[in-house]
Amino acid sequence: MIVVLMGVSGSGKTTIGTLLAARTGTMFADADDYHPPANKLKMASGQPLNDDDRQPWLEELNRVLRGWLAAGEGGVMACSALKEKYRVTLSAGMPAGTVHFVLLDGSPELIAERLAARKHEFMTPKLLASQFATLETPADAVRVVNDREPDQVVDEILAHVKAGSAAQE
């Protein structure tokens, strides 16, 4: 099972991803940890990344996902994956149905509250509007509203992913 938890900053990707990985006994990777220093500096200054900034980062994340597959391991990755072309890059070279994208959703107000309550290395609340504007809601991803206890959100994700995997067999 390889799951990419996607969504805007503050949607709960790290919290839910850590719990999902623990419950499934798989690896967890936070895509933010793979950003090069130049991307982090740009975001910390309040400037959104452009597609050219993101492409090498997405290719590195794809290598991580392909590594899990090659090793016969599952994993959970927290990654914004806001555009369809980003998701194509993330899943490149992977058999169809191998990567399950799960959109963690929530109202702009709820997510803004979460961002205001936390300190992040480079993601500032000023970038939230640009992230919502960039988000291309995927047609083929599971959409889960993250507005309740994390265990309940993980239960819903597992039910959807298991159902999707069973349908592909």
pLDDT digits (tens, 9 = 90+) for 59-92: 999 999 999 999 999 999 999 999 999 999 999 9
Please give the pLDDT value at position 48: 79
Q: Residue 73 falls within a domain, yes or no? A: yes
Structure tokens at 39: 């991307």
Please give the pLDDT value at position 122: 52
Domain count, the chain: 1
pLDDT tens, position by position, 103-137: 999 988 888 888 777 665 555 556 678 788 889 99
Range 13-28 average pLDDT: 97
> Using 50, 70 and 90 to split pLDDT, how confident is the model at 21?
very high
Residue pair 164/142 in contact by the 8 Å Cβ criterion: yes
Would you mind telling me the total number of residues written for the chain in this entry? 169
Provide the mean pLDDT of the chain: 90
Q: Residue 33 falls within a domain, yes or no? A: yes
> Using 50, 70 and 90 to split pLDDT, how confident is the model at 6?
very high
pLDDT at residue 93 above 60? yes
What CATH number does residue 124 fall under?
3.40.50.300
Taking alpha carbons only, the member of 72, 70, 63, 73 closest to residue 31 is: 63
| CA 143 – CA 146 distance, rounded (Å) | 9
Q: Residue 169 falls within a domain, yes or no? A: no
The H or E element containing residue 155 is helix 150-168
Q: Residue 154 falls within a domain, yes or no? A: yes
Residue numbers of the domain that contains 153: 2-164
Q: Residue 156 falls within a domain, yes or no? A: yes
pLDDT at residue 165 above 70? no
Residue 61: C-alpha distances to residues 72, 78, 165, 166 (Å): 17, 10, 22, 26
Residue 62 amino acid letter: N
pLDDT at residue 97 above 80? yes
Q: Residue 104 falls within a domain, yes or no? A: yes
Q: Residue 53 falls within a domain, yes or no? A: yes
Q: Residue 40 falls within a domain, yes or no? A: yes
| CA 52 – CA 70 distance, rounded (Å) | 28
Determine how many CB atoms are found less than 10 A away from the CB of residue 119.
6
| CA 136 – CA 85 distance, rounded (Å) | 10
Question: What is the separation of C-alpha 41 from the centre of its chain, rounded to a whole number of angstroms?
Answer: 21
| CA 118 – CA 10 distance, rounded (Å) | 9
> Using 50, 70 and 90 to split pLDDT, how confident is the model at 9?
confident
